[in-house]
Chain A
Amino acid sequence: MFTVLRWELRQRRAAIFWWTLGSIILTVAILALYPSIRDQANQLNKVINALPQGVRELKTGGASSVNVADPIAFLNSQLFYATLPILWIILAITRGSSVLGREEQSGTLELLLSRPISRGRLLVAKAGSLLTEFIIVGGVTLAAILIFAPLFDLHISSGRLAIATVYTVLFSISFGVIAFTLQAASSVTRRASVAIAVLVSFGGYLIASLSGLTDWLKTPAKFAPFHYFAPDKIMHGQLSFGLNAYLIGVLVLAIVVSYLGFRRRDIN
């Protein structure tokens, strides 16, 4: 199992480096904006809070009003609610759909399955490589946040920042797990895995964010994972039951569906 994990990370080392570097540059660039935004907070708050609620929620989630001078509100609206998740969801879906699917499509999966490694262990090793990749990208990005946030007057406790980053990683990776599970489960779901993961993530993001604009979106928004993702609340120390239930639900379903599906299905 660790042989496959090591191989995966070795093959991905260049990509992991660039994704990590990209995440750091984007994060530091956003953090560096804080002092100048804080200095113009009065005007910016007026502009942002004058926006229709739905448009405002595209950046802020469920926050009723925005004060960009507040470090938590700033990090929520500029970093944790949209920017980092969107970047990492792209990585998660790309990797989740390819870590097994690309190997099956190219035929190299047969090289592995002709060895004495059970399908279950292979599945765990592949999922482990996806997780490890995110631990590296998210871990280094967290280190950058912890180092640079105080330098730009964003004084929030390290623990709160760490929890917000961990939840952002877990939330982002959940969509990769959905793509991965659909790849593993059956040859039918394999073809639709990317589309479904994109629909649940970005479709859900739009529905959850725009639900403030119109009443009829309020009910479907409850089925969108983004509805439960509120980094500002996490940074205030409030852990969302809905978010935790979603993350645990995805994990449990992923384990059951991918194992039962992949264990006995035909390899194409």
Chain B
Amino acid sequence: MAAAIVTDKLSKHYPGTKEIALDKLSLTVNAGEVYGFLGANGAGKSTTIRLLLNFLQPTSGTAQIGGFDVVHESRQAKTKVGYLAGDIALYKKPTGAELLHYLGDLQGSDYKEYLKILAKRFEAPLGKKIGEMSKGNRQKIGLLQALMHRPDVIILDEPTSGLDPLMQEVFYSTIREHTKAGAAVFMSSHNLAEAQQSCDRIGIIKHGKLIHEQAINEQSALSKPTFTIVLASEPEAIRLAHSSGLKVVHHQGNTLQIRPTVALPAFLRTLSNFQIVSLTTTQLNLEDEFMEFYGRGK
């Protein structure tokens, strides 16, 4: 697969600060894949994206999009890019259609037919003034402007923020269409469930350093579910907490949040020895889930 995004020891140090916002980031995103870029707040996700878009100047290192250097060939690189900012800022006065046609004209490529398709699919209220739109509808406009010119490289910061579950599904299927057509997607997210559902590979960033990369279908702690289990009594919960084949994420009274460290059938056999009142799988949250990675100082 051809590389769509390549960074080589890309670094950013903001003047007047001690910490390095991004420390020698080297990664590759291939055409046709969705790369999830995960990390806690302030880890360096947005800095990376803003460097790729040349909103920020790198302190050292290089980055390329579609073979073009993002600093010295920024304009050429951006002919390939569709970008959605996290918490996107849009003009308030124009209608959605006016803004999209403006941005489409600036992009300089054919967008009108596909924009109609996307607008219908996302049920975007294009005739409405943006200032009068809900957050979800503004997010739809943001997605449309990022996708309407069928870019080769799609860079998304928290793309499903504000979208209802139905529209999230529409978004995931649209992204899949683009990657099948050969586009690369670089997506930052806090939401591990979203990453698991939509990404082919993930990278985890902490304190500006890429600390982990893996294909999403690889068996790892990250791809295992977390269970919230309410037991009949507190001693019962303590007994379960000391069992083998699981890791306790959180323990309070008779409630345990645990993650199996063995295969699911073996884990369920362990649970059958306890008096369980309720059992639910928990939506994985990056902040909790990745504390393990962060804590290990990996």
Contact = CB atoms under 8 A, between A and B. Distances in A.
B179 to A, nearest CB: 20
B287 to A, nearest CB: 25
Interface string B76-115: 1011010101001111011000000011011110000000
A267 interface: yes
A92 to B, nearest CB: 22
B53 A112 contact: no
A110 interface: yes
Nearest to A121: B75
A39 B258 CA distance: 96
Interface stretch (A3-11, A189-197, A232-240): A3-11
B62 interface: no
A217 interface: no
B57 interface: yes
Given A113-B53, A117-B106, A107 B74 contact: no
Q: Select the residue from A3, A114, A266 with max chain B CB neighbours within 10 A.
A: A114
Given A106-B89, A111-B145, A116 B107 contact: yes
Q: Select the residue from A108, A116, A117, A265 with max chain B CB neighbours within 10 A.
A: A116
B91 A11 contact: yes
Contacts of B274: none
Given A7-B102, A110-B53, A118 B91 contact: no
Interface residues on A, range: 20 to 34
Contacts of A7: 102
Interface in B17-51: 50
A4 B85 CA distance: 20
Contacts of A116: 75-76, 78-79, 106-108
Contacts of B145: 111
Interface in A97-148: 106-108, 110-118
Contacts of B79: 116
Contacts of B103: 111, 115
Contact of B107 (A108, A110, A115): A115
A267 B108 CA distance: 23
A118 B57 CA distance: 15
A267 B89 contact: no
B106 A115 contact: yes
A114 B57 contact: no
A3 B104 CA distance: 10
B93 A114 contact: no
B56 A111 contact: no
Contacts of B53: 110, 113-114
A61 B43 CA distance: 59
Contacts of A117: 75, 78, 106
Interface in B49-79: 50, 53-57, 74-76, 78-79
Given A3-B102, A116-B75, A265 B85 contact: no
Given A113-B54, A114-B83, A266-B55, A108 B91 contact: yes
A53 B79 CA distance: 62
Interface in A233-268: 264-267
A80 B171 CA distance: 59
Interface in B233-263: none
A4 B74 CA distance: 18
Given A115-B103, A116-B75, A117-B75, A108 B55 contact: no
17 contacts: A7-B102, A110-B53, A110-B55, A110-B85, A111-B88, A111-B89, A112-B106, A113-B55, A114-B53, A115-B103, A115-B107, A116-B76, A116-B106, A117-B75, A266-B56, A266-B57, A267-B56
